[in-house]
Amino acid sequence: MVLTGIIGWLASFQLTVDDWRLLKDPAYQPPCNISPVVSCGSVMSSPQGSLLGFPNMLLGLGAFAAVTALGIAVLSGARLHRRLWLALDAGALVGVAFAHWLIGESLYELNKLCPYCAAVWIVTIALFWYVTVHCMERGIVPVPRGVLYIVRDTHWMLLGAWYGVIVLLVLTRFWPYWSSLL
């Protein structure tokens, strides 16, 4: 939780700083504008970048700060209440659903790959996965024993496969660009 929270917060912070600089100076070129495909400036200024009427990265600043604080509390020996674990898992589920919507928008509507956004996607998926696994192991989220054993024994492979599908989507979506670099 601490690692995903810190990485997610740092990526959200960098996006926030770059977004403010873009608002101040529309000619500003964020350092993540690397190529015609790998670029975050146009992603931040798109309607998808402010889905709820304010920049999405502000959600990340708050959510990842809370995740980091909870992670530090757990590392310090705090025992979180069942309801707090359920709330964290539900929040992570909403986050992962939002991240997947943003992945789809990024790849198939905006035709851009934002590196800081991708970092947020990666840590949001890991956070959801491992909080869910923790909740299953502790009986907070009840699942049949067979499911629990499969998830417990293969959790890293399942997460790797999840990331693998996203990598394949990115590679196939931008294959003409990637192949032109070879």
SS3 of 130-158: HHHHHHHHCCCCCCCHHHHHHHHHHHHHH
Which residues partner with 38 through β-bridges? 113
Q: Which tokens go with 129? A: 């996965």
- How far is it, in rounded angstroms, from Cα 128 to Cα 151? 14
| 7-54 per-position pLDDT tens digit | 999 999 999 999 999 989 989 999 999 999 999 988 988 999 998 889
Which domains does the chain possess?
A: 2-180 (1.20.1440)
Nearest to 164 by CA among 125, 135, 136: 125
- How far is it, in rounded angstroms, from Cα 125 to Cα 138? 20
| 114-162 per-position pLDDT tens digit | 999 999 999 999 999 999 999 999 999 999 999 999 999 999 999 999 9
- What integer pLDDT is reported at residue 120 of this predicted model? 97
Place of tokens 């146009």: 42
